[in-house]
Amino acid sequence: MDNDIILAVTGSLRWILAAAICSNMISAQASETSPLVVNPEQSGRCAETLSKAPITGADHGLALPFTVLNWNVEKAQHPDLVTEFAAYAERSDLIFLQEAVPLKKNETVIAQSLYEAFVRGYVQNEIDTGVLTLARTPHLVHCQLLATEPWLRTPKATSVTLYPLAGSDASLLTINLHAVNFSFGVKEYRFQLEAAAELMRAHRGPVIFGGDLNTWSNRRQATLDAVTDELGLTAVPFSPDHRTSRFGRPLDHLYVRDLTWQLSETVQVETSDHNPLIVTLQRHGS
């Protein structure tokens, strides 16, 4: 990997989005194996990999409280999105993006390096589009789940990452999911959620689950509620709630377990068809 590669989320070659991968970041990731790619029905392979991750008290893990940004950036088609994203990213420690696009560039709008975990979904105009998780600490494990849009037959990606927590023997499991959208009924939707749920059931420790979950119907929201309730996940509330909605239902969500929120906000923007979610989290009971 060249030093001039950065992770960009952009629909135009004129714009740069994310972090320069500096030399110390490359060395930190050099020993990692390629991310495990599994289909939803094979999520047990990912669970096994997560369970074998060495966890020790980390001095350089994510330090609580920390701030999470979740945003579907609509392939960064708007020319002002990069600048706007940079402002949000500067105050974020963990970032979930959907409809992200990685490109090679030699400059950056973000001064501090971020460690990336990208999962390719579909390809548009020979450019990979997928979900991207960024963090200010390296992940211990990164694996991927892939589902298929029933009508379009295109991949829908989920990025699964495991992070150390500073001063703790616990690890943080994060699941950044872009849900299938065009389907009759909720069979495929439930199947995709269940693959992620299997990983959360097996994890002993804090969890963040979210993304563009495409809950545009009562049945979809009820399906999601059944999964999150069974897993003991709590939905982060937003007031005022400016989350992007369809048919009167918000599409984007963040759920947590063994964590609670200090602050939560949604921001109305014109640079994407989704509004970003920003949440500051701490350990439950702190």
DSSP letters along 29-93, please? HTTPPPPEEE-GGGHHHHHHHHHTS----BSSSBPSSEEEEEEE-GGG-STTHHHHHHHHHHT-S
Give the residue from 154, 210, 220, 213 showing the smallest Cα distance to 184. Answer: 220
**pTM metric for this prediction:** 0.85
pLDDT digits (tens, 9 = 90+) for 60-106: 799 999 999 999 999 888 988 888 998 999 999 999 999 998 654 43
Tell me the percentage of the chain whose pLDDT exceeds 70. 77
CA-based diameter of the chain, in Å? 48
Three-state DSSP class for 157?
A: strand
pLDDT on residue 123: 67
Is 80 exceeded by the pLDDT of residue 33?
no
**What CA dihedral angle connects 37, 42, 44 and 46, to 10 degrees?**
10
- Helix 43-51 to helix 187-202 angle, to the nearest 10 degrees? 20
What are the structural domains, with CATH classification, of the chain?
23-283 (3.60.10.10)
Is 70 exceeded by the pLDDT of residue 137?
yes
Is 90 exceeded by the pLDDT of residue 257?
yes
Average pLDDT over residues 46-73: 87
Is 50 exceeded by the pLDDT of residue 26?
no
